[in-house]
Amino acid sequence: MNAVDTMLQEELSRLMDRLAATVPAGSFEATNVTNPTLRSRLDDMDTSLALARATLLEGYGRWRKTLDDLENIWALAAWGSEAGERPSAAAEEAAEYATARAA
């Protein structure tokens, strides 16, 4: 579980704790019977929450990959400067590729 996933799980747990403390027992079942529109809205919000979570985790994955790419480019730059040489064409192409991916 990564840092974002942990944070999202903690926020969801806090929400569930607040709901457990404030929503009377049996409310969910009563809503199913008395207000199907509200039940449908609850289902829609559950779906929306799951999609938002997936989007955040996907974005965080891209963020981590971009950080790794940046670190690798800096390593190439440091390696080239230690050798006292200009970075090779392959290193420059890798840097351009990583920069394009980050954009």
pLDDT (tens place) for every residue of the chain, 103 residues total: 899 999 999 999 999 999 999 999 988 888 888 988 999 999 999 999 999 999 999 999 999 999 999 999 999 888 877 766 555 665 666 667 666 665 5
The whole-angstrom separation of Cα 3 and Cα 1 is 7
The whole-angstrom separation of Cα 52 and Cα 10 is 15
pLDDT of residue 31: 86
Residue 95 Cα distances to 9, 21, 30, 37, 67, angstroms: 36, 53, 59, 53, 13
Could you tell me if 24 and 31 are in contact, meaning their C-beta atoms sit under 8 angstroms apart?
Answer: no
Could you tell me if 80 and 87 are in contact, meaning their C-beta atoms sit under 8 angstroms apart?
Answer: yes
**Which one, of 98, 100, 85, lies nearest residue 77 by Cα?**
85
pLDDT of residue 81: 75
